[in-house]
């Protein structure tokens, strides 16, 4: 496959209005970060419309090909209008299904940007199957563009105290720095597992001590990053609530919510935890899903 998307902000398009929103967000992000932008249209019309081995008229295929090229050209034009002349913009149209193509690009990209839903899937789904699949498996951060699309408001990050959350913190500080935005670090510590455990012995719990411990967890997680990014203004939020409730609430005010793909709760085999699932389906602003690094 082409190496045009190496170290770039990669955005997947499919002709939907949601994907054009993703193109504009990705173009602004590439401009702010001074990074190249690569647009991908995975052209595999026969995989979804015809059965394996079914003959297809050559003229019909060529018409689809022309339409795909026009769609990609229009998306590149939109990206150029948004990003300006200084951003290097490339594109390609591989003849493969979208999820495998985007996962391949993700191995070398800075981030992958997707609309929350596309032209495929089922009516009523809040996030398309490609978006969910790429968010769960991508080697780089995945930004899902949904809800309010604004450059105003803070960058919000969910901090759960897990080692795997370190990469999410890294990306959140980086995004806040590039965007010249404040960072809100939300540590919501009354998740399902925690609540179920302490509910068995309510009289034995000193909630003031528990809350003090959770404040220390947040402070420890933030310490190194605040030293690395001293210009980023950080607001700390420690609250006894489920993480998804807090982060969904903050999404109504944020320009971006950053969260790890999985937190400390749930089942080890799940690639997307309940919080990240809730955000890509229901958040009111763009969401960045960050998977832990190989060592984590």
CATH code (residue 115): 3.40.50.12370
pLDDT score of 3: 60
Q: Can you tell me whether residue 134 is helix, strand or coil?
A: helix
The DSSP code for 252 is: T
pLDDT score of 192: 52
Closest CA to 186 of 158, 219, 222, 224: 158
27: alpha, beta or left? (left if phi > 0; alpha if psi -120 to 50): alpha
pLDDT score of 5: 64
* Assigned domain for 4 exists: no
Q: Are residues 130 and 235 in the same domain?
A: no
Q: Are residues 98 and 221 in the same domain?
A: no
* Assigned domain for 3 exists: no
Distance CA 65, CA 45 (A): 9
pLDDT score of 193: 52
pLDDT score of 266: 44
Q: Are residues 185 and 268 in the same domain?
A: yes
Q: Are residues 104 and 196 in the same domain?
A: no
Q: Are residues 34 and 129 in the same domain?
A: yes
Q: Are residues 219 and 268 in the same domain?
A: yes
Given a contact cutoff of 8 angstroms between Cβ atoms, the answer to whether 286 and 143 are in contact is yes
- In whole angstroms, how far apart are CA 52 and each of 46, 60, 63, 209? 8, 17, 20, 62
Q: Are residues 45 and 78 in the same domain?
A: yes
* Assigned domain for 252 exists: yes
223: alpha, beta or left? (left if phi > 0; alpha if psi -120 to 50): alpha
Q: Are residues 160 and 86 in the same domain?
A: no
Q: Are residues 277 and 182 in the same domain?
A: yes
Q: Are residues 175 and 122 in the same domain?
A: no
* Assigned domain for 181 exists: yes
- Greatest Cα pair distance, the chain, in angstroms, is 75
* Assigned domain for 295 exists: no
Distance CA 81, CA 75 (A): 10
* Assigned domain for 241 exists: yes
Distance CA 255, CA 250 (A): 10
pLDDT score of 265: 47
Domain boundary, last residue among 116, 145, 174: 145
Domain boundary, last residue among 101, 124, 145: 145
Q: What is the pLDDT of residues 271-291, one digit of tens each?
A: 577 888 899 999 999 999 998
* Assigned domain for 150 exists: no
What is the full per-residue pLDDT of the chain (296 aa) written as tens digits? Answer: 446 667 899 999 998 899 999 999 999 999 999 999 999 999 876 554 444 445 567 777 888 889 999 999 999 999 999 999 999 999 999 989 999 999 999 999 999 999 987 544 333 334 578 898 999 999 999 999 999 888 899 999 999 877 668 899 999 999 999 999 999 999 987 755 555 555 555 556 676 777 888 889 899 999 899 999 999 999 999 998 889 999 999 999 999 999 998 655 444 444 577 888 899 999 999 999 998 765 44
Alpha helices in the chain (DSSP H): 17-33, 45-49, 58-83, 98-106, 129-137, 166-179, 192-198, 207-228, 243-250, 274-282
Please give the model's pTM, rounded to 2 decimal places. 0.86
- Count of domains forming the chain: 2
What is the percentage of the chain residues whose pLDDT exceeds 70? Answer: 80
Domain boundary, last residue among 145, 163, 186: 145
Closest CA to 290 of 172, 183, 116: 172
Structural domain for 220, as ranges: 155-290
pLDDT score of 1: 40
Q: Are residues 126 and 195 in the same domain?
A: no
Given a contact cutoff of 8 angstroms between Cβ atoms, the answer to whether 232 and 156 are in contact is no
* Assigned domain for 210 exists: yes
Q: What is the pLDDT of residues 200-242, one digit of tens each?
A: 555 566 767 778 888 898 999 998 999 999 999 999 999 988 8
Q: Are residues 95 and 220 in the same domain?
A: no
């Amino acid at each position: 496959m082409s190496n045009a998307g190496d170290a770039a902000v990669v955005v997947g398009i499919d002709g939907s209005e949601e994907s054009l929103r993703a193109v504009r967000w990705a173009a602004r992000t590439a401009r702010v970060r001074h990074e190249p932008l690569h647009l991908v249209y995975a052209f595999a019309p026969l995989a979804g419309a015809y059965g394996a081995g079914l003959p297809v008229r050559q003229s019909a295929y060529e018409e689809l090909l022309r339409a795909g090229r026009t769609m990609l050209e229009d998306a590149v034009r939109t990206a150029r209008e948004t990003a300006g002349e200084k951003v290097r913009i490339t594109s390609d149209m591989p003849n493969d299904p979208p999820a495998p193509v985007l996962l391949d690009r993700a191995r070398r990209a800075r981030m992958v940007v997707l609309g929350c839903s596309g032209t495929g899937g089922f009516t009523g789904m809040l996030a398309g199957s490609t978006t969910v699949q790429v968010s769960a498996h991508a080697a780089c951060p995945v930004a899902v563009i949904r809800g309010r699309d604004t450059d105003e408001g803070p960058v919000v990050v969910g901090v759960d105290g897990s080692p795997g959350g370190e990469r999410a913190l890294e990306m959140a500080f980086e995004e806040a720095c590039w965007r010249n935005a404040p960072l809100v670090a939300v540590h919501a510590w009354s998740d399902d597992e925690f609540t179920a455990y302490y509910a068995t012995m309510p009289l034995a719990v000193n909630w003031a001590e528990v809350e003090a411990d959770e404040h220390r967890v947040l402070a420890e997680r933030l310490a190194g990053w605040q030293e690395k990014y001293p210009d980023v203004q950080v607001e700390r939020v420690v609250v006894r609530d489920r993480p998804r409730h807090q982060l969904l609430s903050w999404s109504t005010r944020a320009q971006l919510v950053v969260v790890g793909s999985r937190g400390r709760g749930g089942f080890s085999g799940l690639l997307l935890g309940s919080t990240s699932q809730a955000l890509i389906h229901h958040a009111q602003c763009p969401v960045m899903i960050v998977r832990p690094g190989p060592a984590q």
